[in-house]
Amino acid sequence: MNHEIFMQMAIDEAKKAYKINEVPIGAVVIKHGEVIGRGHNLRESSQNPLMHAEVVAINEASKNIGSWRLEECVLYVTLEPCVMCSGAIVMSRIPTVVYGAHDAKGGCSGSLMNLLHESRFNHQATVIAGIKHEECSMLLKDFFKSLRNNKLLEKNKKLEE
Amino acid sequence: MNHEIFMQMAIDEAKKAYKINEVPIGAVVIKHGEVIGRGHNLRESSQNPLMHAEVVAINEASKNIGSWRLEECVLYVTLEPCVMCSGAIVMSRIPTVVYGAHDAKGGCSGSLMNLLHESRFNHQATVIAGIKHEECSMLLKDFFKSLRNNKLLEKNKKLEE
């Protein structure tokens, strides 16, 4: 399995989020080499707390295969899943999760904790971290940098008025 | 605030799940004394891993108020939230969660772990447990008992054939 190819698809999803001023995070669900779900972060534009890239992709994937069990699937996501998305992975029984950048502040698939390796749950997933992490991480850094610059520009504009 | 009244609404939701052969779990989101979201477990009928009572209720609540931030809201749920739903509560910044029955096997709001009291997340919620727990728990016990009986009936029927 070529992790880089599928992670690139997740990065392409993240770029769609970037274009609409959402934190650039993207995800794809792959089954037997085919994309069955795609998603990018839509939290701000939808004003919905559930609309993280992974949840959007899992929702589409389960609709596509007509099952809540995403067995034999691989989830690719540009940023380490948060607590909700790690939980959604457990609930959908996805066996393998591949992520790009680590999330030291909120990541629950290895950083703060690893809910995908929790032996007391009835499902555990294999985690592969760091695939194309520089590209995934750079996208986020660029986004927040441009957000800060825009805020600074606005502030200066107000001072000039 | 009358926890029993709102928990009864969550129980009424759970009963809707029971009627369609779903594990009977129900939830409501309350803001300033008004119901802004309702949900019952729809995992099997929708074949969607995300369709837990709490997620359905949070989704409706955020649509109703047009915001992903469910501040000043209280979530009532008949069973202790799982890992995904506890995560969804953190992500939607719900400040207070009231649940009925404990879930020793999968509960992540106090039983296996307490993700709502995790100081490393940027949100923590107050948890009130055990409201109408006997009624909430009895509903689940009844459901699983009738499921076992039905399976036994089917087995005997096959043996008679």
Residue A49 to residue B83, Cβ atoms within 8 A? no
For residue B57, the distance in angstroms to the closest alpha carbon of chain A comes to 11
Residue A88 to residue B47, Cβ atoms within 8 A? no
Q: What is the DSSP letter of B132?
A: T
Task: Give the amino acid at B145.
Answer: K
Residue A59 to residue B44, Cβ atoms within 8 A? no
Query: How is residue A43 written in tokens?
Result: 């939290």
For residue A62, the distance in angstroms to the closest alpha carbon of chain B comes to 6
Residue A106 to residue B122, Cβ atoms within 8 A? yes
CA distance B76 to A27: 31
The CA-based dihedral angle spanning residues B28, B32, B34, B40, taken in that order and rounded to the nearest 10 degrees:
-10
Q: Distances in Å between the alpha carbon of A38 and those of A23, A97, B20?
A: 16, 14, 30
Q: What is the DSSP letter of B103?
A: -
Nearest residue to B12 via CA among B35, B46, B44, B38: B38
Domain B3-160 has CATH 3.40.50.10240: no
CA distance B29 to B73: 7
Q: Looking at B22, B54, B60, B80, which residue is catalytic?
A: B54
CA distance A36 to B103: 32
Query: How is residue B52 written in tokens?
Result: 């837990």
The pTM assigned to this predicted structure is 0.95
CA distance A7 to B105: 34
Work out the number of other CB atoms within 10 angstroms of the CB of residue A12. Answer: 14
B154 contacts: CB under 8 Å, gap ≥ 6: none
Range list of β-strands (E), B5-158: 26-31, 34-40, 73-79, 96-101, 126-129
pLDDT average, residue stretch B108-116: 98
Q: What is the DSSP letter of A27?
A: E
Q: Looking at A13, A22, A54, A80, which residue is catalytic?
A: A54
Sign for the CA dihedral angle at B39, B40, B45, B47 comes to: positive
pLDDT of residue A137: 98
Task: Give the amino acid at A128.
Answer: I
Residue A59 to residue B69, Cβ atoms within 8 A? no
ipTM over 0.90: yes
| Chain B residues near residue A68 by CB distance under 8 angstroms | 43-44, 46-49, 51
A49, A70, A122 member nearest B88 (Cβ) = A49
Identify the three-state secondary structure at position A8.
helix
For residue A161, the distance in angstroms to the closest alpha carbon of chain B comes to 32
Phi, psi of B97, rounded to the nearest 5 degrees: -125, 125
- Is B4 annotated as catalytic? no
One pLDDT digit (tens) per residue for chain A, 161 residues: 599 999 999 999 999 999 999 999 999 999 999 999 999 999 999 999 999 999 999 999 999 999 999 999 999 999 999 999 999 999 999 999 999 999 999 999 999 999 999 999 999 999 999 999 999 999 999 999 999 998 888 888 888 87
| Chain A residues near residue B86 by CB distance under 8 angstroms | 83, 87
Q: Distances in Å between the alpha carbon of A60 and those of A19, A125, B111?
A: 21, 20, 31
